[in-house]
Amino acid sequence: MAFPPDKRFITALIVLLFILSSSLIGESLYFEKRDFSNLTIPSVSCIAQDNRGYIWVGTPGGLLRYDSRKPILINKKNFPVLPSDQILSLGFVIDTEELWIGTSGGMVRYSLQTNKMERVQLRYRTSEKISSAVVSIAVRDSKRVFAVSGNSIVRYNGDDNMEEIPVDPAISGRNIDVYEVAFDADGNLWATASDGLKRWDENISRFKHAQTLENAFSLDAIGNNLWIGLGAGEGLIRYRSESGIIEFFEVPGDTTAVASDPDGLIWVGTENDGIYIINPGSGNITSCDYDPEHPYKLPSKRIESLFPGRNGRLWIGTADTGLISVDNNKSNHLSYIRRSGTNGLPSGSFQAIFEDSLGYIWVGSNLGGVARIDPITGSVHQYRNNPMDQFSIMSDHISGIVEDDTGRLWIGTDKGPALYLPEVDGFEPAGNMISGWPDFRGQKVIALVRGLDGSIWISFMNGSLYRLNLQEREYKVYNFPSSTVPAVLFIDEKGTLWA
């Protein structure tokens, strides 16, 4: 999403989840706030999802990979080839499993298969471009990648270069600014510019002028409908690409992003006026209630991006309150859970979130232990370390949570892995489970994951990686230099461990 340079950013990422029923449109929307990480992350500018289910979040402080458990930050510190930490646009190519990343200083592509990032050169027809910022990306496949940079459109030429392509103005000879590009459902490529709408003509390799519109800024393609946000608070239009019919919707403020939910409702994000929901059939427009202090209201009016994820989940990026997700498949909402306290969530930042086989939500904190949430009643039960209780968890510093094939919960702490014992509603050290196994007590757990074969993999701060075969009651240890301790463990669909 392209955005004006005067937008300000905050310095903390708050992930806000709220669960919405489509039947609640027109009534109150319910939010639940969760602080997931101690990462210093500003606002959200763009969102994408890959074919493995990861959500990628662009921020002015780097690129965040989010999988509902532990966010991972990618920036110039761990990928020096990244031109800038300010991420402006994202596009994912399914056939090559590559994420194209637009930044304020240029463009790169990141391979999920090799975990490598390569710089893409931007080549313009003139040397007078004032900016190399890549503010919008449109991808159809590995051969059709387009981007907006320097008020121009560039196209991938298959040789690690993006070359500028011509864009016709409405009036010959006039200079225009290009804002965004997007593919419609039929694979037609469109662009918005300061004088209207453009359409890509493959036969002559240029963008031809399609429709004169003043201040055509944001562009989102939903099916064969183009939703175009007009600047200067002039509202939103729907352009039917097959017929050229234009419909106007009086949405207050400047539109920044548009997305559709599974019920066909159109969500409209604005720069300073929050979110509006359009029913395309009736034309009714409903605003989302805003109140940053109220637990059940929209916490931000400054919407940067909207992204329809899998399974009906809608992701919303804001300029001052981080990331919001909406699950449109749920018929009920979760009650608001207080941030801390004996009847609320743990203090500190959340390092792990896990849903067990019974449907309970477990939340681990770096300071406040672990909490179990009943999603039906909204009740919360905290588990803290208590030296006087033999069944209390060994430490309040939690790093991860997984469940084995028998339904036992494994919880990583800085004093070793713990097993949850439902019969006593408490915990014991994991080393006690099988006679002759290592005593893991005192060893700081960095990450843990369950393999497809039921094995539990655990990495420790001392550089050791354990594979615990619970069925055979065997284990194997792999040692790493302490400087390369696996901080993240991931099992792919083939059962391969990535560390």
Candidate CATH numbers 3.10.129.10, 3.50.50.60, 2.130.10.10, 2.40.50.140; the one for domain 350-498:
2.130.10.10
* Each residue's pLDDT expressed in tens, for the chain with a length of 499 residues: 443 333 322 222 333 333 233 333 334 444 444 344 444 455 889 999 998 888 899 988 899 887 655 678 899 988 999 999 999 999 999 999 999 999 999 999 999 999 899 999 998 876 555 578 999 999 999 999 999 998 899 999 888 889 999 999 999 888 899 999 999 999 999 999 999 999 999 999 999 999 999 888 899 999 989 999 987 788 899 999 888 999 999 998 899 999 988 888 999 999 999 999 999 888 899 988 787 777 657 788 988 888 887 667 777 778 877 767 676 654 333 333 333 444 455 655 567 778 888 888 888 888 888 988 776 666 778 899 998 888 999 999 998 899 998 889 999 999 999 999 888 889 999 887 777 788 888 899 988 989 888 999 999 988 889 999 888 888 888 887 665 666 667 776 677 777 6
CB 358, CB 373: distance < 8 Å: no
Position 236 scores a pLDDT of 93
d(CA 450, CA 469): 10
Enter the DSSP assignment of 346.
P
- Give yes or no on whether 15-327 and 350-498 have one common fold: yes
Structure tokens at 251: 């949405």
Give residue limits of the domains in the chain. Answer: 15-327, 350-498
Name every residue whose Cβ is closer than 8 Å to that of residue 341 and which is 6 or more positions away in sequence: none
Instruction: Indicate the pairing of strand 62-66 with strand 235-240.
Output: unpaired
pLDDT tens, position by position, 286-326: 988 787 777 657 788 988 888 887 667 777 778 877 767 67
CATH node for 15-327? 2.130.10.10
Query: What's the confidence (pLDDT) of residue 435?
Result: 74
Rounded Cα–Cα distance for residues 374 and 362 (Å)? 9
CB 236 within 8 A of CB 228: yes
Tell me the CA end-to-end span of the chain in Å, nearest whole number: 32
Contacts of 195 (CB under 8 A, 6+ apart): 169, 170, 171, 174, 176, 209, 212, 213, 214, 216
Separation CA 80–CA 203 (nearest Å): 39
Structure-token pair, residue 127 = 């040397």
Q: What is the DSSP letter of 288?
A: P
Q: pLDDT (tens digit, 9 = 90+) per residue, 213-270?
A: 988 889 999 998 999 998 778 889 999 988 899 999 999 889 999 998 888 899 999 9
- Answering whether pTM is above 0.75, one says no
HSE-up of 151 (CA within 13 Å, CB side)?
Answer: 13
User: How far is CA 202 from each of CA 142, 190, 462, rounded to the nearest angstrom?
Assistant: 16, 12, 57
Q: Beta-carbon neighbour count of residue 424 at 10 Å?
A: 10
Length of the chain in residues, anyone? 499
Using alpha carbons, list the distances in angstroms from residue 293 to 32, 75, 276, 296, 297: 12, 32, 20, 9, 8
For strand 456-460 and strand 106-111, is the pairing parallel, antiparallel, or unpaired?
A: unpaired
How does DSSP classify residue 60? T
